[in-house]
Amino acid sequence: MLVFYTERGMYVGARMQQTQSQLVERLSSRDEFLQRDRISVSIDTSGEGLYAYWFAINLGGTLQDGTILPERQYSNSWDGPWQGASSINAEGWTAEFFLPWTMMTLPYSSTGDRTVGLYFQRAVADAGMDWGSPALPRTQSTFLSVLPRVKIQGVNPKQQFTFYPYASTTLDEYRGEASAKAGFDFFWRPTTAFQVTSSIQPDFGNVESDEVVVNLTSYETFYSEKRPFFLEGQEIFSTSPRANPRWGPGGGGGGSPTTLINTRRIGAPPRALGLEDIEFSDVELNQPSELLGAAKVTGQSGSLRYGFLAALEDDTELRGVENGEARRVTQSGRNFSAARVLFEQPEGSGRRAVGVLMTEVDHETETARTAGIDAHFLSQNGRVTLDVQTLHSDVEGDRGNGFFADFTYRPRRGLQHKVTVDHFDEDLDVNDFGFLRRNDFIGFSYSFDHRDAQRPGLKERVDNLRIRRYENQSGQVVREGYSASREWRFLSNAEAKIDLDFFPQRIEDKNSGGNGTYLLDDRVQLGLRWSTDESKPFSLTADVKLEQEDMGGQLQGYTSRFAYQPSDRISLFASISHETRTGWLLHSGGTDFTRYHAETWRPNVELSYFFSARQQARLSLQWVGIKAFERDRFALVDEGRRLTALDADDSRRDFSISRLSFQARYRWELAPLSDLFVVYTRGSNVPSNIQRGFRDQFSEAWRQALVDSLVIKLRYRMGN
């Protein structure tokens, strides 16, 4: 590694020795993780282990970057205007970075004398290994706080102004409309520790597509943010590791975050009108709200960091039908605002921090406010970590409260104990701006993780034990489980995993739509997974899951995923899932429930061709097809007891679901953070037609498009 710096930025060069036959070169979209050769640099610009940035160059020239929060919270939801490239030579390959200081937050310094932390990491795909300098394996509890520090002088970047104008054109075949928009984002950084970001007439056009999800429960699905404006500088609003959607199910999150700020709420479909006499199509009700503007301020003063966020939605016009006649109704937009302060005090390699976050969503029908206080502790030896947060909500006088705490103890490398505690009352409501999977939730979870790298024939064996138990405020157990898993990571880069879960009898209090609670049976689940070496041109992953249903019956699911990358420029990723259920219990309205025999198919295909590391053409297709046949019926008669069986009448409750999303996208990165997009999107949600086979349902989903649009968008970065 060769490193030097000027007042402009840091320059990093890397020479990697590697035989030609071992090189794994693959192009991809920016920030996409693949098994390939890679070199990365992490810079702790705070100099105290409070926050850092990471930058990676993959063999072939694809770039990755993001942020790091204590102690090892990696995120790829930040993109910086830096430059990097790679080249193959006789000894292996080389890479070069230019990292401008102006894109990074730096504490204020009147002289330009600073301390930064540095970390380098190299990944060798053929070996399935990575190495770091200094050596800080993931099994070690400390990371950011113990990076080696270096002194730099004369680094005091001047005032920076960056201007991002854009222009876009949308052709909507379904609506028979064409529209054009223009606007701009701008970034002003008068000092190294203060930045103002604003967007006027922002265009959040459909250049990315969400996963196709069928959710027939009362629990909301979380969708990650993909819009660059809201991702930039978002780390200051992250109040705990639980704000990360990949935080996982240890504390009952089920992979969903717990956070007071979920920026996907901004520009979401407008609030429901509550007009029973007017019928609206799903397309009308689910169209996004346009934004008039948004602004964000982030900064640092000594140990205090802060951030402010505001966004204004435009009014949305909805077209419906009343008594056979067309009607147009306008729903007013919402105003979003948030304020955040965080005081951090590092102590050697430890850390103490306390912060406050407040939000408000203002609409003509109601105002929703939330507030939270978060505290964080890391011991100097890194063995103990504690994250605590309180949650408070006020929606037009209806007040709710809650808190959670996450305690982690790592007695030695490779061994971890984690305890989480949750207490959310039934009136807590943060989902106007934030995300909480459910309220009325009180309990704890415990997990034990052991990583053993000394097993013959293995790189590593990972064992995990989990216990969780949660009640509602009535004292009814609403979630309880006992789980164990073991994962083998072989020297050949193949992996195998087995999961076993037992869920005792419990109460379900949400899926009745507010019509009462009912009892679920004991359940056992088994999961198996096998994956081959992902560094090879062809790799395969196979999953099997066997689960007992809520009230008798069984779920059997099989998923196969494969990746075929015959060259660095072509990649094909495909998966297909098949699921059969013999006791799928669904709420049918009121106190009625229905149990189904069901079959589900989920194919997913993505084909990419790369003209270069900065030009990509991609085709992606997702489809979900479900056919469900009524087995028997039940009613919720006695609170907290098993559902009561009913006699079926002559009507049938059979149904089918067919949802499709297709996207053809061309992206050309003209310069750092400057892109040309040409995106065609087609999507559908076909009405139930149980008589049709899956092949016919797929054909209908393609023909009966509810979304059929072409977007052309140009965004270019200008500034000093």
**pLDDT, tens digit, for every residue of 97-111?**
999 998 898 888 888
Is there a domain that residue 478 lies in?
no
Is there a domain that residue 99 lies in?
yes
d(CA 209, CA 469): 36
The CB density around residue 409, as the number of other CB atoms within 10 Å, is: 15
Please determine, for residue 246, whether its predicted confidence score (pLDDT) is greater than 70: no
Confidence band of 248 (pLDDT split at 50, 70, 90):
very low
Contact 179, 203 (CB under 8 A): no
The DSSP code for 701 is H
Residue 249 has a pLDDT of: 37
Please determine, for residue 227, whether its predicted confidence score (pLDDT) is greater than 90: no
**pLDDT, tens digit, for every residue of 431-484?**
999 999 999 999 999 999 999 988 998 999 999 999 999 999 999 999 999 999
Positive or negative CA dihedral for 704, 707, 709, 711? negative
Q: Is the peptide bond before 71 cis (omega within 30 degrees of 0)?
A: yes
**pLDDT, tens digit, for every residue of 169-207?**
999 888 788 989 898 888 898 888 899 999 888 765 556
Q: What angle do CA 280, 281, 285 make, to 5 degrees?
A: 75
Phi/psi of residue 313, nearest 5 degrees: -90, 145
Is there a domain that residue 383 lies in?
no
Positive or negative CA dihedral for 325, 174, 699, 596? negative
Count of domains observed in the chain: 1
**Average pLDDT, integer, range 35-58:** 95
What DSSP element (H or E) covers 501? strand 495-503
Is there a domain that residue 590 lies in?
no
Phi/psi of residue 246, nearest 5 degrees: -90, 10
d(CA 52, CA 69): 7
Q: Tell me what the pLDDT averaged over the chain comes to.
A: 92
Residue 6 has a pLDDT of: 95
Confidence band of 299 (pLDDT split at 50, 70, 90):
very high
**Average pLDDT, integer, range 310-336:** 91
Beta-bridged to residue 571, according to DSSP, are 608
Q: Can you read off the two tokens belonging to residue 613? A: 């590391």
Report the length, in residues, of the chain. 720
What DSSP element (H or E) covers 695? helix 694-703
Contact 485, 464 (CB under 8 A): yes
d(CA 494, CA 540): 10
d(CA 288, CA 269): 4
Is there a domain that residue 39 lies in?
yes
Domain holding 27: CATH number? 2.60.40.1190
**pLDDT, tens digit, for every residue of 591-639?**
999 999 999 999 999 999 999 999 999 999 999 999 999 999 999 999 9
End-to-end alpha carbon distance in the chain = 29
Is there a domain that residue 51 lies in?
yes
Q: Can you read off the two tokens belonging to residue 158? A: 């001047």
**pLDDT, tens digit, for every residue of 469-514?**
999 999 999 999 999 999 999 999 999 999 999 999 999 999 999 9
Is there a domain that residue 228 lies in?
no
Range of the domain at 137: 2-152
d(CA 504, CA 154): 63
d(CA 404, CA 408): 13
Residue 495 has a pLDDT of: 97
Torsion of CA 253, 257, 259, 263, to 10 degrees: -150
d(CA 338, CA 340): 7
Is there a domain that residue 22 lies in?
yes
